[in-house]
Amino acid sequence: MNITLIGMAGAGKSTVGRALAEKLEYEFVDVDELLRNRFGKQLYLVIDEIGDDGFSAAESEAILSLVGLEDAVISPGGSVIYSEPAMNYLDKISKIVFLDVPFEIIEKRVDVSTRGLVGMGDKTLRELYNERRPQYLKHASVVVSVETREIRDLINNITTTLLL
């Protein structure tokens, strides 16, 4: 079984994903890393260069190319919820876990001045959070509340909830 972690930038998808994959002895797939390797540059530069729509298309293409995965933890970017085809595909190949982090924690972790966020435009981080959160909830098989929990506790919560 594959597991996909979704949530805002700063939710801990990559950190939790790596630790979860290690515990379960699963492959770890970081979609942002795939895109950095493909474009050969930081993602905020890619977003600046090709725009939100171009980046979303590239992200969706990267996800749709994940064929034949078994026993993997997938960590897509937070903007994946803007792509219905990508979300439908992830739902087909994995259990989707939403790392639900309160806005106050996201705000402390994410520096919007140095990090490109798809969909940001003229919005504040709070507005983007409020726009995305209902979409994460809509697509999630499992919602894990993340406040100040230790990674070990989060992993145990995820594995227990998914009966692994």
Q: Which two tokens stand for residue 52?
A: 């939100």
d(CA 21, CA 97): 14
Q: Considering the entire predicted model, what is its pTM?
A: 0.93
The Cα angle at residue 1 between residues 102 and 163, in degrees rounded to 5: 65
Average pLDDT value for residue range 100-120: 82
Q: Confidence band (pLDDT; 50, 70, 90) for 118?
A: confident
Residue 116's pLDDT is: 66
Residue 148's pLDDT is: 64
Helix residue ranges, H only, 94-150: 103-109, 125-139
- 2-158: CATH topology is Rossmann fold (3.40.50)
pLDDT at 162 over 70: yes
Q: Which residues pair with 30 in a beta bridge?
A: 75
Quote the radius of gyration of the chain (alpha carbons, Å): 15
Spans of all domains in the chain: 2-158
d(CA 34, CA 15): 16
- CB–CB of 103/126 below 8 Å? yes
What Å distances lie between residue 149 and 12, 37, 96, 119, CA to CA?
11, 31, 20, 28
Residue scoring higher pLDDT (132 or 119): 132
d(CA 144, CA 153): 11
Residue 92's pLDDT is: 97
Tokens 């981080």 identify what position?
A: 125
